[in-house]
Amino acid sequence: MTTATTSSTELDVLGALWAFDFIGFAQKSAALDPTAPGYGQAVGAAFGLVVRRRFPRGAAAEEIGGYVAEFLGSLEAGAEDFDPAALEGLFAEGLHGATAAGGERLGPEPRMQAHLVLSLRMVRELGLGPDEQRELLAEAARATAV
């Protein structure tokens, strides 16, 4: 699978999740290969776009920490699967575009899972409709085009 195909498939998975198309999400997710080159880049790019919309003026470490704590506290189950410091690192990466302390602690699968779950939450918080979601996915595709 080429990087372009991987990116397209990843964004299809993310689009299905954002649309609450769980059958499509499951089917498209099965086509992802966590060992493929560039795995997670497209979803990571989309996550960064959503983070910058959620925090358009940036965010202090305390604000990100509070957001992560509130997110983890809202999970009915599975919060123990996420390391708060690693999630804070993902937010810093999303805001600044560089690998931040904590983010590198996540392997490809946990990183992808965190990006998916957190981006879904922020898309819902921002009230982004289908058109805005498609625009974000298209922008992420352009950002990761080979």
* pLDDT tens per residue across span 47-74: 999 999 999 888 988 999 999 999 988 8
The top-scoring range by mean pLDDT among 23-37, 65-79, 87-101, 102-116 is 23-37
The structure tokens listed for 58 are 């940036």
User: What does each C-alpha distance from 114 to 1, 45, 46, 51, 69 come to in angstroms?
Assistant: 23, 13, 12, 13, 14
Q: Say which residue the tokens 């982004």 belong to.
A: 128
pTM score, whole prediction? 0.89
Helices and strands, number each (H, E), in the chain: 7, 0
* pLDDT tens per residue across span 115-139: 999 999 999 999 999 999 999 999 9
Closest CA to 117 of 106, 132, 131: 106
> What pLDDT does residue 146 have?
60
> What pLDDT does residue 57 have?
86
For residues 7-36, give the mean pLDDT: 92
> What pLDDT does residue 118 have?
94
Write out the DSSP string of 13-63.
Answer: HHHHHHTT-HHHHHHHHTT--TTSTTTTHHHHHHHHHHHHHHSTT---HHH
Q: 141, 11 in Cβ contact below 8 A?
A: yes
Please tell me which residue, 101 or 9, carries the higher pLDDT value: 9
